[in-house]
Amino acid sequence: MTLHREGRATITISTILFLIVSFVFYYFLFEAYPVIFWILETAWIVVFALIISFFRIPGRNYTMDDTAVIAPCDGKVVVIEEVEADEYFKDRRIQVSIFMSPLNVHVNRNPVNGEIVYNQYHKGKYLVAWHPKSSTENERHSNVYRHSSGKEVLTKQIAGALAKRIVNYNQVGKKVKQNEEMGFIKFGSRVDLLLPLDAKINVKIGDVAVGGVTVVARW
């Protein structure tokens, strides 16, 4: 397992803060109140470990399949429905939404091979990520991938109540490979996929998706 580059500043600041607070705990509590010291220090270690885990990149055998749309992130499938596209597309699409908890891996990956034909950041609110309006009202970053077959899929990286920073590495005209890094959402949220109506959905609501591994759909 390695740590993502997006975590460098946060991990550095957190490490310094961890050492300072641990020293304060030790100096004022260790001899006089050892039980309280160990309770607070243990809780502080858990918080520090969680911050580090936000930026982990676990080793995986990624699914490489040019006929498949692969999960762009880790998390639980919370929406599968036919919707009227509100961005880029002018038709109806199948929306698949994956909710990322703070405990999930936060790297986002390209779901297909193709060319980036649309790349747009939108300012917005920070509604909880499972709110029905978060797809259209929250801060988000959208990409459209054009596959060699001519079919297109749109992804939305959506910020939530905790996620305050979306990073996206794509740009219009870029040729990308399936499972390369699309970006990063700090501290959770969700990613939406808008797929053609004839896509064969391979997941159901409640399934736990593994980014870069789980086949969400085939086309």
pLDDT-derived band at 69, boundaries 50, 70, 90: very high
Residue 164: its pLDDT value, please?
60
DSSP 6-67: GGHHHHHHHHHHHHHHHHHHHHHHTTT-HHHHHHHHHHHHHHHHHHHHTTEE--------TT
Residue 136: its pLDDT value, please?
61
pLDDT over 60 (residue 134)? no
pLDDT over 70 (residue 133)? no
The pLDDT tens digits for 1-54 are: 788 888 889 899 999 999 999 999 999 999 999 999 999 999 999 999 988 988
Is residue 183 within 8 Å of 167, Cβ to Cβ?
Answer: yes
Residue 128: its pLDDT value, please?
60
Angle at 99 between CA 180 and CA 124, to 5 degrees: 90
pLDDT over 90 (residue 139)? no
- Active-site amino acid positions: 189
pLDDT over 90 (residue 61)? yes
pLDDT over 80 (residue 125)? no
The pLDDT tens digits for 163-209 are: 567 899 999 999 999 999 999 987 768 899 999 999 999 999 999 99
Residue 191: its pLDDT value, please?
95
Residue located via tokens 């998390």: 75
Assigned token pair, 28: 């004022």
- Angstrom CA distances, 57 to 25, 34, 60, stand at 32, 36, 9
Residue 186: its pLDDT value, please?
79
What rounded mean pLDDT belongs to the chain? 91
Q: Is the dihedral of CA 120, 124, 125, 130 positive or negative?
A: negative
Whole-angstrom distance, CA of residue 44 vs CA of residue 42: 5
